[in-house]
Chain A
Amino acid sequence: MSSDDALIEIVDVTKAFGAGERRFLALGGVNATIRKGEFFTLLGPSGCGKTTLLRLIAGFELPSSGEIRLDGQEIGHLPPFRRPVNTVFQNYALFPHMTVAQNIAFGLEMLGKPKAEIAATVERMLTLVKMTELAGRRTDQLSGGQQQRVALARALAPQPKLLLLDEPLSALDLKLRKEMQVELKRIQHETGITFIFVTHDQEEALTMSDRIAVMSRGQILQIGTPREIYAHPTNRFVADFIGETNFLRAAVKGGRAVLGPGVELPLAAGTADGEVTLAIRPEHIRLVPEGAAGALSATVGDATYFGTDSHVHLTLADGTGIVARQQTDPEGTQGPQAGAVLGVTFPPSAVQVLED
């Protein structure tokens, strides 16, 4: 299953903590392949196992079963100091008794690099993260953003094959976080190093990643590009966690999903009769006059105005609540009034059939 551009292969990895009654399965059989040069994000709510997976790759934890391969070599049981992998820690974990430059040089010294090479690399790293002027500072005299840059430079200095980033931006304020997102992308581009990035922030994941693995309860639910994950979620958790989504239940009859009288959607061939859950993004829902062809009838609840658009809350005939996102029109016309009865349509291509 190894392909040429695979850097990391995670094969059936499980991780359990504790034993007996208090045994807790943090990862239950995870598979993933991360390609060279990729910006790969592990996305999920807290406790989903994303940090555990990162720590397994770094070597701070050993897998209970399964294999972690780097360039085809099993590394799952090596100690962290034998893996060509470096980490940017959530709270940076800079050495408080060393200067910025000493922090960056530490990994290179431990690898036994010659002095001249260390000095040159430290200089290059300082330039890369724009910290040249602060090389002699003690790390406790730095701001959060500066510490972040030092942590990045320290982890990149030994030129690892893989850089792991454990929610590195979570401690920064919003403005600084946006700035560092751009910086991280620039630095990844300049160094060409593969990044594995852990976050619980879906927006951060969507804007920065080449590919995202969405995790929940110790499982990877879906791996794909940000576009694939957003537009084609395969499962209810992914659809719900990434962006906003309306869920509709529909009966399956003869390979078609029946939503209401005269409202049917074709399904993939071979779908058995029964029920399915459909997901539709609020921005794909169109409001039409009641009784229009192929429209579901819905009663308007309230609407929230956001400037560029407004969110209209509707209730379908079967009592399901849905949200439609309406672009503000140039004339600034008042949106639908509460209590009005409207028709709701959506293009069939915007509907995702979810695995339950």
Chain B
Amino acid sequence: MQETEATREAAQVRRNWLLSLPALCLLAAGAIGPLFIMLVYSFLTPGKYGNVEWIFSLDAWRGILFTRDIFDDTLKLADAHLTIFWRSVRLSFMTTVFTFVVGFPTAWFIATRAPRWRAFWLFLITIPFWTNLLIRTFAINQIIRNEGFLNTALIKIGVISEPLNLLYTDLAVFVGMTYVYLPLMVLPLYAAIERFDHRLLEAGYDLYASRLAVLRRIIFPTVKPGIIAGSILVFIPSLGAYVTPRILGGGRNMMIGNFIDLQFGQGRNWPLGASLSVLLLVVVTAALLIYVRFANRDGGHG
């Protein structure tokens, strides 16, 4: 009796696997396949007119940090690459911090409205998602360019006499990314704050905690899962951002995403593009793991 029960269960498990096989194959081909191709290409030699030649080479990996001198063929540290990496990390970090600074009060505001109004405020937060990213980014471009709305208005009211040179700077990229990724910070924060027991605030005040102490010692630790989720959702796409730095940063203020794109276009160095992509993937995964581990260390509440 027990025997047949076990066999039947095993058969059921086998059937479940068989039934999900087509979907699994599709996922494997669609998700892992391209990654695998990228990994292989990063060890090949660039072709003359793009594409690759099937000759094994570590040049693409070396090329991430070093360039070969045109004249004497020696390896030199590629300052330009480092600048791009540094700009990517710096801007992504700033974007994460700033979306938190702006997003936390916003999420708090929404979560403390009457329940029937919360849906309305959340709806407003998600409206930007309805428009194409490219169009929204061009809209910012129109606002901050020299002859744009902002400069025109400031000159008209006499605050400045010369237009501020905002477009095609790191600042423009930072502003653009903050705008684009803010909802991704607000939504997880809202979810965490909504579950926050507001009676804990009274308990804190009652026990002589000032407003700042209540924020630091009670609110932040309790909504930490939301802070972590929001930071991940903002930091990771920021690091790989392409459209925003392309339109607001111009050709000079590149981030990793644009740099990778360059390798597959004008640069005609597909292996370098592939190695950069793999590197980005590895860095993001590592950062994610460390962050989650670090965040869960003191109490895995929530």
Given contacts A96-B200, A97-B221, A106-B209, 8 further A-B contacts (CB under 8 A): A60-B205, A86-B207, A87-B202, A93-B202, A97-B222, A97-B301, A110-B210, A111-B208
Q: Does B115 contact A (CB under 8 A)?
A: no
Please state if B222 and A93 are interface contacts (CB–CB under 8 Å): no
Report the minimal beta-carbon distance from A63 to chain B, rounded to whole angstroms: 17
Given A96-B301, A97-B221, residue A158 in contact with residue B208 (CB < 8 A): yes
Tell me how many residues of A have a C-beta within 8 Å of chain B. 24
Is B299 an interface residue, CB under 8 A from the partner?
A: yes
Interface size class of B (residues with CB under 8 A): 20 to 34
Does A107 count as interface, using CB distance less than 8 angstroms? yes
* A241 interface residue per 8 A CB criterion: no
When the two chains form their complex, are residues A81 and B209 in contact, meaning their CB atoms are under 8 A apart?
yes
- A93-B197, A93-B200 known; A106 and B207 CB under 8 Å? yes
Residues in chain B within 8 A of chain A (CB atoms) = 197, 199-200, 202-210, 213, 217-218, 221-222, 224, 299, 301
- How long is the Cα–Cα vector from A337 to B188 in the complex, in angstroms? 71
A-B contact pairs, 7 of them (CB 8 A): A59-B206, A81-B208, A91-B199, A93-B200, A106-B207, A110-B209, A111-B208
Smallest CB gap from A55: residue in B: B202
Which residues in B have their C-beta under 8 angstroms from that of A58? 202, 206
| Residues in chain A within 8 A of chain B (CB atoms) | 58-60, 79-81, 85-87, 89, 91, 93-97, 106-107, 110-111, 138, 154-155, 158
Most buried by B among A81, A86, A111: A81
The CA of A60 and the CA of B201, in the complex, are separated in Å by 10
- Given the complex of chains A and B, what is the CA–CA distance between A79 and B201 in angstroms? 13
Main secondary structure on chain B at its contact with chain A?
A: helix
Q: What A residues does B205 contact at CB under 8 A?
A: 59-60, 79-81
A86 to B208 alpha-carbon distance, docked (Å) = 9
Question: Shortest distance in angstroms between A162's beta carbon and chain B's nearest beta carbon?
Answer: 12
Q: Which residues of B contact A97 (CB under 8 A)?
A: 221-222, 224, 299, 301
- Report the bound CA distance from A212 to B77 in whole Å: 83
Smallest CB gap from A110: residue in B: B208
